[in-house]
Amino acid sequence: MAITLNTKHMKEFVSDHELAAIEPQVAAAHKTLTEGTGLGNDFLGWTTLPRDYDKEEFSRIKAAAKKIQSDSDILVVIGIGGSYLGARAAIELLCSPFYNNKKKDTPDIYFAGNNISADYLNTIVELCEGRDVSVNIISKSGTTTEPALAFRVFRDMLEKKYGKEGAKGRIYATTDKAKGTLKQLSDKEGYETFVIPDDVGGRYSVLTAVGLLPMAVAGIDLDQVMAGAAQAMEDFSDPDMAKNDCYRYAALRNILYRKGKSVELLVSYEPAFTMMNEWFKQLFGESEGKDGKGLLPASVVFSTDLHSMGQFIQEGRRLMFETVVEIKKPKKDFYIQSDPANFDGLNFLAEQNMSVVNEKAMQGTVLAHTQGGVPNIILEVPQIDASEFGYMVYFFEKACAISGYLLAVNPFNQPGVESYKKNMFALLGKPGYEDQKADLEAKLK
Ligand code: PA5
């Protein structure tokens, strides 16, 4: 298990003295994080989660997953933001982006409640027709509009299909241990509940029941996931930046930010990484983007996006740097055969593995983009498996926390998320928002 920071192509963008200059700040951020003295210090549960996770609940998660696998064709996972992205990223990366279409002995998994689209919801409802369904509603607050709305629909569906008693055995609620409407409802109705710990914020919660239950249902080895995260917890505990790739990555991205870069593009050459990109964007976007500061996290999947965003990256406004996640080995390679007729002239690619072509595309792109003035940080990941996933999650979470402290923001809150909600509630006529409603409607006229 490893993530190795490769800075071979960074020399012309960040010099050794710049790294040396930021070292004391990284050491200070490390101290702040480990001593729990910084902003948002009541949300540091994720730092020790790989070691201190609730073992009893862990077994219950596995047992619930087994039951869902045995009595359900479909699991509908309802949640948004941190209560959704990690599980989906894990399933797409570790199983397949085509997980639901694959021949398998685990249930299909659909993610609902992460938008307010009638068409999206209707499609999942239709897909559930005639099939056995379980639901995992995930919401720390229990009041988030999107998942709450979807839960109404699927709870009603299950109660109609299986009766109140039958539905009860098919609804699993992942929420706060004591407070919130979802917890109250679960206790009243007798749903099995799993806990999002008080000191773990949504976007840092993938290694709690939030991510683990859907992962287990998909057949992902949870022990491996936690073992990977535990290894990363140990590997990235060294305060010395020279020995800590996670901290050097945080330092490099901060230096580039201070030098005027405003966008970090997370790059992968694996389409299965697409939802990991989304998870990364939430993690860094919500953690850093505040007080008028922060790198805008964006993402691309190459070589697909080389045929769209590639032009901008090569020659457009010089506002970004790239962080390339280089997965060294595919799960299974594909051998390219030679074609005796060679109509397409592609025989120069034949008699070798597809991964070699992908690797050369990556190397060529890194050289082209750095020559075009785009710094490229490379994160080398040996392969994709459950332990590497756990390792990667911890790496990015810690890099994000250190980055937030380097930026002097609270990496664990998200006050800005409330603004749209207030406006939406006012426009929809939620009681208590009457004054704002008139104001907003006047602005819309
Ligand atoms: O990172 C966060 O805290 C947010 O993205 C939340 O996860 C998201 O808003 C969902 O919140 P909740 O779990 O309370 O429904």
Per-domain residue ranges for the chain?
Answer: 4-36+226-406, 46-220
Report helix angle 386-406 to 16-35, nearest 10.
100
Given a contact cutoff of 8 angstroms between Cβ atoms, the answer to whether 373 and 13 are in contact is: no
> Where would I find the beta strands (DSSP E) of 238-365?
263-268, 296-301, 320-327, 335-336, 352-353
Tell me which of 210 and 180 has the higher pLDDT.
210
Q: How far apart are CA 283 and CA 12, in angstroms?
A: 29
Q: Which atom of ligand 1 is nearest to the CA of 204?
A: 1
Task: Indicate if 188 belongs to the active site.
Answer: no
Going by CA atoms, what residue is nearest to atom 2 of ligand 1? 202
Catalytic residue among 278, 286, 322, 326: 286
pTM comes to: 0.97
421 is catalytic: yes
What letter represents residue 135's amino acid? V
**Ligand 1 atom closest to residue 147's alpha carbon, by position in its atom list:** 15
Q: Is pLDDT above 80 for 1?
A: no
Of 258, 248, 288, give the one whose Cα is nearest residue 378: 248
**Residue whose token pair is 């072509």:** 357
pLDDT of residue 417: 87
How many angstroms is it from 303 CA to the middle of ligand 1?
32
CA of 410 to the centre of ligand 1 (A): 16
* Nearest Cα residue to atom 9 of ligand 1: 81
- In this predicted structure, the answer to whether residue 435 has a pLDDT above a threshold of 90 is no
Average pLDDT, the chain: 97
Please, which residues bridge with residue 138 across strands? 174
For residue 249, report the distance from its CA to the centre of ligand 1, in Å: 26
> For residue 439, is pLDDT > 80?
yes
Q: What is the DSSP string of 52-63?
A: H--HHHHHHHHH
Marked catalytic residue, from 179, 360, 421, 422: 421
Domains 4-36+226-406 and 46-220 alike in fold: yes
DSSP state, 198? T
Q: From the CA of 175, give the closest atom in ligand 1.
A: 13
Q: What is the pLDDT of residues 214-227, one digit of tens each?
A: 999 999 999 999 99
> Could you tell which of 83, 195, 281 is best to mutate to test the pocket of ligand 1, judged by most ligand atoms within 8 Å of the CB?
83
CB 229 within 8 A of CB 391: yes
Atom of ligand 1 nearest to the CA of 141: 14
CA 408 to ligand 1 center in whole angstroms: 22
CATH number given to 4-36+226-406 = 3.40.50.10490
At residue 418 the predicted structure's pLDDT band, cuts being 50, 70 and 90, is confident
Q: Which of 46, 140, 410 to mutate to test the pocket of ligand 1 (most atoms within 8 A of CB)?
A: 140
**Percent of the residues in the chain that have a pLDDT greater than 90, as a whole number:** 96
365-394 residue pLDDT tens? 999 999 999 999 999 999 999 999 999 999
Instruction: Give the span between the Cα atoms of 370 and 444, in whole angstroms.
Output: 45
Q: Closest ligand 1 atom, CA of 417?
A: 9
Q: Which CATH number fits domain 46-220: 3.90.1150.10, 1.10.3720.10, 3.40.50.10490, 3.30.460.20?
A: 3.40.50.10490
Please give the pLDDT value at position 376. 98
Cβ 211 vs Cβ 50: under 8 Å = no
Instruction: Give the C-alpha separation, 276 to 427, whole Å.
Output: 34
Protein residue whose Cα sits closest to atom 5 of ligand 1: 81
Q: How far is the CA of 81 from the centre of ligand 1 (A)?
A: 5
Residue nearest to atom 3 of ligand 1 (CA): 202
- Is there a contact between 208 and 197 (Cβ–Cβ < 8 Å)? yes
**Ligand 1 geometric centre to CA of 203 (Å):** 7
**Interface predicted TM-score (ipTM) over 0.90:** yes
**Pocket-testing residue among 144, 145, 412, ligand 1, by greatest number of atoms within 8 A of Cβ:** 144
Cα(274) to centroid(ligand 1), Å = 20
| pLDDT at residue 342 is higher than 90 | yes
Ligand 1 — pocket residues by CB below 6 A? 80-83, 139-141, 144, 147, 201-203, 286, 414
Q: Which atom of ligand 1 is nearest to the CA of 138?
A: 13
> What pLDDT sits at residue 45?
97
